[in-house]
Structure 1
Amino acid sequence: MTASLEHDDLANLFLSLGALQPPAELHGYAAGFVSVGGRITADGWLKHCIDLLDCETPNPEQSEALYVVYSSALESMESGEMSLDLLLPDDEFDLDQRIVSLGQWCQGYLTGFAMAGKQQNTAKQKAYSPDLTEAISDIAAIAQVSADEQTDEDGEQDFFSVCEYVRMAAMTIFLECNGAADNGEEQGNPPRLH
């Protein structure tokens, strides 16, 4: 497996780079980019990072750490084990901060999905299934989330449920967009999200 990602380590890297975006958004971007079939070299990914983060060119060590964001998203989605983990702050952070990060992850996902989708050959593009369209709409709605005052146990449970839904939606989108090409045949109905 690729080197592990830690939210706090990546946040510190972003601070040193003067990056304007949070780690969750970059990880979401990587997952969205990969979901629609985007594949890229380390140098190509670095260019995406510089544009998205609005930062100076990182040194080689920082570049390698940024590439881990992309490679870990790709590896977890290609594993076939539904092992994608959203890169969000851990439970030590207040619930409202984690909710905001989830919205940022979803925003990044949508941006990455759109960027890779634009690069696809038009002849390769196909109409998306109703399930995929619904999943993208749901992720777009979640991207608009804002923190509220609900910090009780129900709020924690709701947050966990929404994170799990987003994780499964991203995997389902990946399977639909990449499954037929990987199997060499048209794929039937993708797994239902709910």
Structure 2
Amino acid sequence: MTMTFSSQPGDLPVSVSFDELADRLADQGGLSHPSEVHGYLCGLLSAGSQLSAQQWLQHLQEQMGDKTFDEPTAQLLSQLFAYTRSELESGSLSVTLFLPDDDEALGLRTEALGIWCQSFISGFGQGLENRQVSEMVEEVLRDFAEISLIETADESDETERLYIEVSEFVRLAWLNIVAEVCGLPETSSNEAGKQETPNTLH
């Protein structure tokens, strides 16, 4: 299965607040982390999965042990699905990772980035099924697996800089996978392909 991307950006659905989704998931019993949810979704879509919002919710409920979302949580998750898919279909380089705001503690942001990467790998593998991918995609997935283990020992200008570098690498490497597997416009693919893996935070 493949995903068709438009060449011109369109109007995006309303974005979702990280804190609002975190609160909703906590109210549901702490079923998941917002970055885990987004990483899993991005992995599925990047593998070319043609999902409706309802199918996405069913996938997510299965991943969480057949839990049922209340209506406000289901609406937020559907909104996140619509926003993320529209970002990808816009063909723009402005896609975003769903991570805590920059004013949150660096340790929390670093942990969320690792969670996003691990969940992306899970969703991508599930969406890809048994299809083969290029060496480039396999290399990015290996990078994501390494980044999923990153930790922040302290908060300093240097570790903040490294976090920014790593998160930007992840964002553009994600675009590179989408370009390879689903066929983003060439300009996006080239920009993403220029990135090299930065030093990770330890």
TM bucket (normalised to shorter chain) is 0.7 to 0.9
* RMSD (Å), alpha carbons: 1.9
Does the CA-based 8 Å contact 1:20-1:54 persist in structure 2? Answer: no
Within a 5 Å distance, the mapping from 1:11-160 to structure 2 comes to 11-54=22-65, 56-118=67-129, 125=131, 127-149=132-154, 151-160=155-164
Amino acid at match of 2:163: F
Q: Identical aligned pairs, as a percentage?
A: 29
Match of 1:177 among 177, 181, 184: 181
Deviation at 1:67, TM superposition (A): 1.4
The CA distance in 1 between the partners of 2:61 and 2:133, in whole Å, is 30
Deviation at 1:54, TM superposition (A): 4.0
The CA distance in 1 between the partners of 2:45 and 2:143, in whole Å, is 18
The CA distance in 1 between the partners of 2:93 and 2:63, in whole Å, is 27
Deviation at 1:57, TM superposition (A): 1.4
Does the CA-based 8 Å contact 2:152-2:159 persist in structure 1? Answer: no
Q: Is the helix fraction higher in 1 or 2?
A: 1
Does the CA-based 8 Å contact 2:25-2:73 persist in structure 1? Answer: no
Three-state SS of the structure 1 residue aligned to 2:182 is helix
Deviation at 1:61, TM superposition (A): 3.1
Which residue of 2 is the match for residue 8 of structure 1?
19
Amino acid at match of 1:175: A
The CA distance in 2 between the partners of 1:56 and 1:34, in whole Å, is 22
Q: Which runs of 5+ in 1 are unaligned?
A: none
Amino acid at match of 1:173: I
The CA distance in 2 between the partners of 1:110 and 1:12, in whole Å, is 25
Amino acid at match of 1:174: V
TM-score (norm 1): 0.85
Deviation at 1:176, TM superposition (A): 0.7
Deviation at 1:73, TM superposition (A): 1.8
Amino acid at match of 2:133: Y
Deviation at 1:35, TM superposition (A): 0.5
Aligned residues: 180
Extract structure 1 runs of 4+ deviating beyond 4 A: none
Does the CA-based 8 Å contact 1:18-1:55 persist in structure 2? Answer: no
Does the CA-based 8 Å contact 1:19-1:55 persist in structure 2? Answer: no
